[in-house]
Amino acid sequence: MGSLKRDVRILLIGDASVGKTSLILSLVSEEFAEEVPAKAEEITIPADVTPEHVPTHIVDYSAKEQDDTMLEEEVAKASVICIVYSVMDEDSIQRLTTYWLPLLRSLLGDEHRTPVILVGNKVDLADYPTLESILPIMNDFSEVETCVECSARTLKNISEVFYYAQKAVLHPTAPVYNPEEKELTPAARKALTRIFKICDLDNDSLKSALEDVKAIVSRHTTDGIIDNAIALKGFLFLHTLFIQKGRHETTWTVLRKFGYDDNLQLTNDFIAPRIHVGPGCTTELTHQGYQFLASVFDKYDEDRDGCLSPDELQNLFSTCPLMPWGPDVNNTVATNGEGWITSPGYLAQWTLTTLLDVPRTLEFLAYLGYHYHHESQLSAVHVTREKKIDLEKRQTTRNVFRCHVLGAKFVGKTSFLQGLLRRNLRYVATLNRQHLSNFSINTVQVYGQEKYLLLQEVDVTMSEVLTPTELDCDVACLLYDVTNPRTFEFCARIYLKHFIDCKIPTLVVACKAEHPEVRQDYDLTPAQFCQRYRLPPPQHFTCMDTVNWDVYVKLATMAAYPNLKRLVHMLLVHQRPLWLEERIRLSCMFWLSRVRSFLLLSTVHFITSPSFDLQCCSQCLASYLMHIRDLYTEENKLYIHVGLGAAALAALSFAIYKIVRAIR
Ligand SMILES: Nc1nc2c(ncn2[C@@H]2O[C@H](COP(=O)(O)OP(=O)(O)OP(=O)(O)O)[C@@H](O)[C@H]2O)c(=O)[nH]1
Ligand SMILES: [Mg+2]
């Protein structure tokens, strides 16, 4: 990412006989040739032998062999132009300003950006300094990057000419420095300010700068050093100094590292690296991505209250050209009582952006300075494997699940979405309706693991037609209102039209469940409907005072384990609290591992010992029983009995095996 890898094309123009061809041939053969052709062939110097490590083409021009159109073409193709004059030929010096520089402006435009170098040749013939008459030209023609004197005969400064030419292309002055004002251009100030903010990791200026650098800054600026650290003003001063001392490459190396091109715009490669997301795959943040974004949060949460006040949020995005989030973000993720985004809410919002619009996440990671610590933003994003494979393998590594929420008008979709942010009706009533969002996202525990559940309100109340994108979710949630008899029919129709044949798990939710349920105007009651179509029974939901959080856990569980439909269904039918499901799973795992180790021990023992070793076996059994005694509580009784039964059965099988072997 350091410097731009591209070709440099150096064109030499100037009056006849000033020594253009000789200069080129002297550079190539490292000796002066008395006889030279009118025009040298184009020369390409491979990257590894040039000082800046870029392939360089050197192109000669001769009026004897080329007409104006050919010159025009070459000028257009050149990345830098050397106008050669002879220090001994006053005419050739005059013609720099009367002919050559105006010609370039007429061909390339008055404000052209092709750097020009004035090259005074045949300095071996002059015994007095000649540059004085040339330097003022630089003030009148800002495109002139530098002047250099040389001799093709003595080889003096020959390689410097080409080095300056390369440098003028790779580290041009015009975009970063205004020589008339003797200061950085506004674009350079803006870019360097952004870089300063990114490098200032703890938001208290650059403390670690070298002491002598700080000394220089403090000598030349009033508040360049604050609290023994380089402040923004000092940082900008340092770069002005680098450019004034001809060390443009220092400033440009910094700018390139942070993604800037020659026009001080962030390059496309930098903000939009290619990422391939195949069909059925999703995008999630990696651990590195979360870590980086969390560190940005910590840096800007200046009062350490775990929330971003509007000012802190503004500062956080001050290195970006625009705010990525609108006012609706406060109703999409968790906030504090004042509506300020909390740290988990902030990470949830990035999770949402990464899932729905990964190019935007990549772009903002670049603006926020992800490259300062990592090679590319791609390491912050993970493309999940196809959902089809997850279903085949019956397990998923995904952490973010999409749930589409559908329901007739006024059934309570918005409140259901807000409930995921643990907001009750009273709180929702205080919100500005215009800032409400169609999304909400929060973390939910699924079998002890933290997963993101993203709810999206899909508005199909009029058409009842779902597009493939509207169907693209991990779980569907159909809402009806227990107080309105005409709301369940919508759920039933949507289910029968769209979800009955697809593999998306579906949950019917009865909203406003604090009220008594009225009979729905539909052939079947919601419970009968769910039973007929083998759906989990309708889940009652209210967010009047406290929110029924269980529903979200169920949705996330169904999304995470779509192929365990029956199990989830069974658990939901019996309305067991979730801790019990967790307990069953953990207990099963525990007892399985116990039985397995017992079996292993017994097997090893039975197979290796020729005779039955009572002592060893009883030791093994004793330790096993000790475990059981510790765990034998009222709650665990059932599972222990099952475990013991399994172990006994296993032991019996081995005994039979042993006996059969002994008989044979
Ligand atoms: N003393 C001295 N003579 C030089 C130097 N460079 C070139 N010459 C001589 O100047 C004359 C012109 O050199 P060229 O290299 O042919 O000049 P050019 O600019 O290519 O000329 P055109 O192709 O006609 O435009 C030749 O006689 C060279 O030997 C130099 O550094 N010192
Ligand atoms: Mg020539």
Q: Which atom of ligand 1 is nearest to the CA of 152?
A: 31
C-beta of 36 in contact with ligand 1 (< 6 A): yes
Query: Which atom of ligand 1 lies closest to the CA of 34?
Result: 29
Looking at residue 462, its pLDDT comes to: 65
- pLDDT for the residue numbered 335: 93
What pLDDT, on the 0 to 100 scale, is given for residue 4?
Answer: 52
In sign, the C-alpha dihedral spanning 353, 359, 362, 367 is negative
CB of 153 closer than 6 A to ligand 1? yes
pLDDT exceeds cutoff 50 at 426: yes
CA distances from 361 to 88, 349, 373 (A): 61, 10, 17
Measured by CA distance, the residue closest to atom 30 of ligand 1 is 122
The yes-or-no verdict on residue 574 having pLDDT over 60 is no
* Nearest atom, ligand 1, residue 84 CA: 19
Distance of CA 146 from the midpoint of ligand 2 (Å)? 23
If you average pLDDT over residues 225-247, what whole number do you get? 84
Would you state the structure tokens that stand for residue 487, as one six-digit string? 């709301």
Q: Which of 126-130, 470-474, 491-495, 599-603 has the highest mean pLDDT?
A: 491-495
Rounded average pLDDT over 60-68? 94
What does the block give as tokens for 637? Answer: 């009784």
Ligand 1 in contact with 65 (CB < 6 A)?
no
Cα→Cα distances 112→29, 167, 332, Å:
34, 18, 48
Q: Confidence band (pLDDT; 50, 70, 90) for 375?
A: confident
Determine the distance separating the centroid of ligand 2 and the alpha carbon of 154, expressed in angstroms: 18
In short, whether 17's Cβ falls inside 6 Å of ligand 1 is: yes
For the record, the structure tokens of 210 come out as: 């070298």
Tell me, in angstroms, the distance from the centre of ligand 2 to residue 243's CA: 34
C-beta of 224 in contact with ligand 1 (< 6 A): no
- Residue 307 identity (one-letter amino acid): C
Q: Is 124 in the pocket of ligand 1 (CB under 6 A)?
A: yes
**Nearest ligand 1 atom to alpha carbon 38:** 23
**Which of 35, 84, 32 lies closest to 59 in space, CA to CA?**
84
Nearest ligand to the CA atom of 120: 1
- Tell me the two tokens of residue 13: 């123009």
Which atom in ligand 1 lies closest to the alpha carbon of residue 121?
A: 31
Whether the per-residue pLDDT at 568 is higher than 70: the answer is no
Our answer on whether the CB atom of 440 is closer than 6 Å to any ligand 1 atom is no
Nearest ligand for residue 63 CA? 1
Instruction: Give the distance (Å) from ligand 2 centre to CA of residue 36.
Output: 7
Contact 644, 624 (CB under 8 A): no
Ligand 1 centroid, distance to 25 Cα (angstroms): 10
Q: Whose CA is nearest to atom 25 of ligand 1?
A: 16
Q: Give the model's pLDDT for residue 589.
A: 53
**What distance in angstroms lies between residue 54's CA and the mean position of ligand 1's atoms?**
28
What is the pLDDT at residue 576? Answer: 47
Ranked by mean pLDDT, the top range of 51-55, 124-128, 249-253, 512-516 is 512-516
CA dihedral 319, 323, 325, 326 (to 10 degrees): 160
pLDDT of 612 over the 70 cut: no
Distance 297 CA to ligand 1 centre (A): 64
- Percent share of the chain, pLDDT over 70: 86
Please give the order of strands across the beta sheet that includes 8-14.
Answer: 43-45, 56-59, 8-14, 80-86, 116-121, 144-149
Neighbours of 117 (CB within 10 A): 22
Question: Could you tell me the distance, in angstroms and rounded to a whole number, from the CA of residue 56 to the centre of ligand 2?
Answer: 19
> Does the beta carbon of 119 lie inside 6 Å of ligand 1?
no
Cα 67 to middle of ligand 2, angstroms: 14
**C-alpha dihedral, 327 to 333 to 336 to 342, nearest 10°:** -100
Tell me which of 41-45, 269-273, 411-415, 620-624 is least confident: 620-624
Identify the pLDDT of residue 621. Answer: 66
pLDDT at 207 over 70: no
Quote the distance between the C-alpha of residue 177 and its chain's center. Answer: 32
Summarised one tens digit per residue, pLDDT across range 484-543 is: 999 999 999 999 988 988 888 999 999 999 999 999 999 999 999 999 999 999 999 999
Whole-number Å distance, alpha carbon 10 to ligand 2 midpoint, is 15
Least confident among 51-65, 245-259, 617-631: 617-631
Helix, strand, or coil (residue 620):
helix
Cα of 329 to ligand 1 centre, how many Å? 70
The reply to whether ligand 1 has any atom less than 6 angstroms from the CB of 86 is no
Burial 149-158 (b: 16+ CB within 10 A, else e): bbbbbebebb
Average pLDDT estimate for 309-332: 92
- Of residues 647 and 441, more confidence is placed in 441
**pLDDT for res 632:** 62
Instruction: Establish how many alpha carbons lie within 13 A of residue 414's alpha carbon, considering only the half-sphere containing its beta carbon.
Output: 15
Cα dihedral: 35, 39, 44, 45 (round 10): 40
Q: Which of 22, 30, 43, 125 to mutate to test the pocket of ligand 1 (most atoms within 8 A of CB)?
A: 22
* 135-140 average pLDDT score: 85
Ligand 1 atom index nearest CA of 15: 25
User: Which ligand places an atom closest to the C-alpha of 18?
Assistant: 1
Angle value at C-alpha 485, between 481 and 489, nearest 5 degrees: 85
Q: Is the CB of 451 under 6 A from ligand 1?
A: no
- pLDDT at residue 575 above 50? no
